[in-house]
Amino acid sequence: RREGAVDPVFLTGQGVGGLVTELPVELTLELLQRGQERYDIFCAVCHGHTGAGDGMIVSRGFPAPTSFHDQRLLDASVGYYFSAMTNGFGRMYSYASRIPPEDRWAIAGYVKALQLSQNAGLDDVPTDVRLELENSEGRVR
């Protein structure tokens, strides 16, 4: 009632065909920055700042979560991450009462960007940017 008529996809991460593969909100730099901020607060303690599953509590003896860079999670949709935060998964409890849906989407978008940043190669750099780097630094390694 507080929000009015909200698309169920926004609240559940579920579309007609299952978990959604696209963000139901606009992907902006501000959204990713908000996602990083919220991730650092709620997620990094377990998942680590790079998503490797090596957060602070792991160093204190808690079992490590699966790395976000594991192929299964690299292949997971953005809706999967939203659903895991909403409903909990394994040892992770639900964050639905702690993180509003718009922030869960921001975190899910950030996790996908984090995965890309940690697994990108030279072929992922746009040609014009790569040429500019080669001209400014001599040679890209």
pLDDT score at 24? 93
pLDDT score at 4? 59
pLDDT score at 129? 87
Q: Which of 106, 119, 118, 100 is nearest to 36 (CA)?
A: 106
* DSSP states along 68-126: TTSHHHHSS-HHHHHHHHHH-BTTBPP-TTTS-HHHHHHHHHHHHHHHHHHH--GGGS-
pLDDT score at 138? 56
pLDDT score at 59? 93
Give the separation between CA 73 and CA 115, rounded to whole angstroms: 9
Q: Residue 55 burial by CB count (10 A; 0-12/13-18/19+): exposed, middle or buried?
A: buried
pLDDT score at 119? 86
pLDDT score at 3? 57
pLDDT score at 131? 87
**pTM for the predicted model, two decimal places:** 0.85
Q: Which residues of the chain have pLDDT under 50?
A: none
pLDDT score at 36? 98
pLDDT score at 139? 56
Contact predicate 67/119, CB 8 Å: no
Give the separation between CA 117 and CA 53, rounded to whole angstroms: 16
